[in-house]
Structure 1
Amino acid sequence: MTVIKKLLIVDDSAFMRKLIGDFFVDVPNIEVIGTARNGQDALEKIKALKPDVVTLDVEMPQLNGLEALKLIMVDCPTPVVMLSSTTKAGAEITVEAMANGAVDFIAKPSGTISLDLHKIKDELVHKVIQATNVSVTKLRKPATLSKAANTFFNKDISTKEITTPSKPLERSVINTNNWNLHGKKKLVLIGTSTGGPRALQEVITKIPQNIMAPILIVQHMPAGFTKSLATRLDNLSEITVKEAENGDILQSGVAYIAPGGYHMKLQKVGMSVGIKLDNIEAPRGGHRPAVDVMYESASKLEEYDKLAVIMTGMGSDGTKGLKILKTTGNVKAISESANTCVVYGMPKAAFETGLVDNVEDVDDIAQTIMKYIP
């Protein structure tokens, strides 16, 4: 029997509501059951109509998308896909929305009223369908440091907030299989996609400042949003988090997030290792940055042991790169468990290779990383 999923469209523009609704006219199994003109209207419609998924505009009067999302997740938890402009304010709100339970987001191609919204039609339809399969219980789970997250954009932070992990980070010995015997430098490589911003907040904010390894992160995000993600994580973490720049020299205690639209590669710079950003090589599996590209590039660094971490996300990005890493060096791999993944795609594909050493709930990934880093 065919199951029809119900969609509610929320946007303050009648034109945009109509345009988005038209995208789903011929989509099997998705029925637009209503529209809402602002956040308050959305809350009332969600309670009355009980949709399976909501598209929610970020910038609206009366009750904006972020404020509405927080109330939705408390009063009537529902999978939400945010629609955002690429302005700095829009990007900041979107990143915070991801930390507060939104499944995913779409960047409008040309601002609040995008006459060319058809450019992202296929992506929007795909993400809405994907969101209907997400368990609401995982979205409701309180994010680490949610109090700090909720106040972050409402205050002027002049110094880095030092956060306290929810549990002690033990450096106990696990089965490292000679991992540390030869004393090579360590490199942490994290790949994630749908649900990633929230998962990264859970992991990165628990890493201590004195970690003796650089951390490279590929989060599938378009240009304009990775900078806001890096800024947010930097202000919530002990370690330094930055959007990677071409020529950055890797330093321990620093996390580098690949900018949207660029593959992140590594290259030798004298006795050091630097970051090379590439917007010429084609996307891999539709992604630029791609986890596979980062892993493949890192596999060429013989002087480093690598710790590969694959977290929540759709598809299989990272799996091919993991196979190359494992055949070219001393590598350990951690995948996020199905228990906590918003989408158990990328970690599942990695696990099925048989090359994953640890499967962990997102809450425990930071602790496992620190068990591998001496």
Structure 2
Amino acid sequence: MIRLLIADDSALMRKLLEGIFAAEGDFDIRTARDGNEALELVRTFDPQVVTLDVQMPGMDGLTCLSRIMIEAPRPVVMISSLTADGAEATLEAIELGAVDFIAKPGGAVSLEIDRLRPLLVEKVRAASSARIRRTLRLTERVRHQMSGSGLASRPPASRALSPSSAKTTKAAMKRGSAVPPGLVLVGTSTGGPAALDTVLPQLPADFPWPVLVAQHLPASFTGPFARRLDRECHLDVVEVNKPMPLRPGTIYIGKGDADVMVAPRVSGVIAMPVPAKASYVWHPSVERMVASALDHLEASRLVGVMMTGMGNDGAEAMKRLRMTGGRTIAEAESSAIVWGMPGELVKNGGAEKVRPLEDIAETIIEMVNSCAAD
């Protein structure tokens, strides 16, 4: 049995969520009305996974999460609204250690919840076996958040690129050719925002290739997520909410609830949002992003990176990338919150390098330097 704690101030939401998981037959469930009750049940019931409403009276979800991650770390899935404020709070929760989030149904909750039932169960099951890792600066972040002093400072950037590949400033690189010298493609899902938050700030300001990211998120989340990353990274970070030329010095985050693709234009190669395609389960689709890059750029100028996430999105396309002359990195099981997507890439033979999260940025830099020297 999976011990599940549901914390929500809405009696209706508690009843609906409890009914969904009780019907599965393998969940032992307790409920809490606020953060204080949730903390007490964490101590006495010892749940394997917690769902935590962001907005609760008394002790809210973020404060409760902070206490859980300091006192008794375990997988936590946030229940969040899809508003701008809900997105910001959820992203802060992920920085504090939450594994994933579930978008709270709008409108007629009792009707919407049935539509979300499969996703709710899948996410909570995945979270129940997720690896809780003490990411860089997690304890400092939590303590700063609890004391009201803001987030901890960032670590220094990873080592600089070799002199031969770092001849110009970022601004000068952006004025250069619209055809990038190469492209880094990053795919991730559950646990991905925290993983990206570790890897991307380590890329130096003179990094010579653009970076295109497919992170499974709703549309209302990817804009705030890109803005948060932009404040922390040496490179510029933007959401792909319209066709954009792929330029060095920039990290492009695919818009949620859509797919992001590489496409040719007279002026060069662009990243563009396209309507989500039903044949792909998750969006933005890693598979579709990588396949489109292979259609328009030489595989030898591509580096694919697969990090934490459930499922197998992108594994086949990244294997093809490697088999046709590209470079690939899969996050190691030892650091991945959920070793689904990177695990599939390893199992199908598509991973050239398998690296723990803390070493991925340096491995990307090494591969790009190697391509620049060819």
- TM-score range, shorter-chain basis? 0.7 to 0.9
Pick the aligned partner of 1:165 from 156, 173, 176: 156
Pick the aligned partner of 1:89 from 85, 88, 104: 85
Distance 1:229 1:316, change over 3 A: same
Give, in angstroms, the shift of residue 214 of structure 1: 0.5
Instruction: Please state if 1:369 is matched with 2:341.
Output: no
| Contact 2:49–2:124 (8 Å) recurs in 1 | yes
- Map of 1:184-263 to 2, 5 A cutoff? 185-263=181-259
Pick the aligned partner of 1:264 from 250, 260, 263: 260
TM-score by length of 1: 0.87
Distance 1:82 1:144, change over 3 A: closer
Q: Equivalent residue of 1:94, what SS?
A: helix
55-64 or 108-117, which deviates more: 108-117
Counterpart in the other structure of 1:358: 353
Counterpart in the other structure of 2:52: 56
Instruction: Please state if 1:273 is matched with 2:264.
Output: no
Equivalents in 2 of 1:28, 1:171: separation in Å? 57
Counterpart in the other structure of 1:179: none
Equivalents in 1 of 2:163, 2:355: separation in Å? 16
Q: Which amino acid aligns with 2:272?
A: K
Q: Which amino acid aligns with 1:344?
A: W
Q: Equivalent residue of 1:224, what SS?
A: helix
Distance 1:281 1:115, change over 3 A: closer
Query: What do residues 19-60 of structure 1 show as CA deviations (whole Å, max 9, x unaligned)?
Result: 11111122132111x211111221111111111111100111
Counterpart in the other structure of 1:294: 289
90-99 or 274-283, which deviates more: 274-283
Equivalents in 2 of 1:195, 1:367: separation in Å? 20
| Contact 2:96–2:141 (8 Å) recurs in 1 | no
Equivalents in 1 of 2:239, 2:144: separation in Å? 22
109-118 or 195-204, which deviates more: 109-118
Instruction: Structure 1: give runs of 5+ residues left out of the alignment.
Output: 174-183
Distance 1:107 1:150, change over 3 A: farther
Q: Which amino acid aligns with 2:9?
A: D
Q: Equivalent residue of 2:202, what SS?
A: coil
Instruction: Please state if 1:341 is matched with 2:339.
Output: no
Percent identity of equivalent pairs: 37
- Map of 1:120-135 to 2, 5 A cutoff? 120-135=116-131
Q: Which amino acid aligns with 2:244?
A: D
Query: What do residues 206-251 of structure 1 show as CA deviations (whole Å, max 9, x unaligned)?
Result: 1111110100000111221111211111111111111112211111
Give, in angstroms, the shift of residue 141 of structure 1: 3.3
Counterpart in the other structure of 2:73: 77
| Contact 1:162–1:236 (8 Å) recurs in 2 | no
Give, in angstroms, the shift of residue 109 of structure 1: 2.4
Equivalents in 2 of 1:145, 1:229: separation in Å? 21
Instruction: Please state if 1:141 is matched with 2:138.
Output: no
Alignment RMSD (CA, Å): 2.8
Instruction: Please state if 1:27 is matched with 2:18.
Output: no
Pick the aligned partner of 2:112 from 113, 116, 125: 116
| Larger helix fraction of residues | 2
Q: Which amino acid aligns with 2:124?
A: V
Equivalents in 1 of 2:124, 2:228: separation in Å? 26
Equivalents in 2 of 1:366, 1:144: separation in Å? 19
Equivalents in 1 of 2:198, 2:298: separation in Å? 29
Instruction: Please state if 1:15 is matched with 2:9.
Output: no
Equivalents in 1 of 2:229, 2:139: separation in Å? 11
Query: What is the number of equivalent residue pairs in this alignment?
Result: 352
Equivalents in 1 of 2:302, 2:288: separation in Å? 15
Give, in angstroms, the shift of residue 83 of structure 1: 0.6
Distance 1:282 1:82, change over 3 A: same
Equivalents in 2 of 1:14, 1:222: separation in Å? 26
Instruction: Structure 2: give runs of 5+ residues left out of the alignment.
Output: 165-179, 370-374
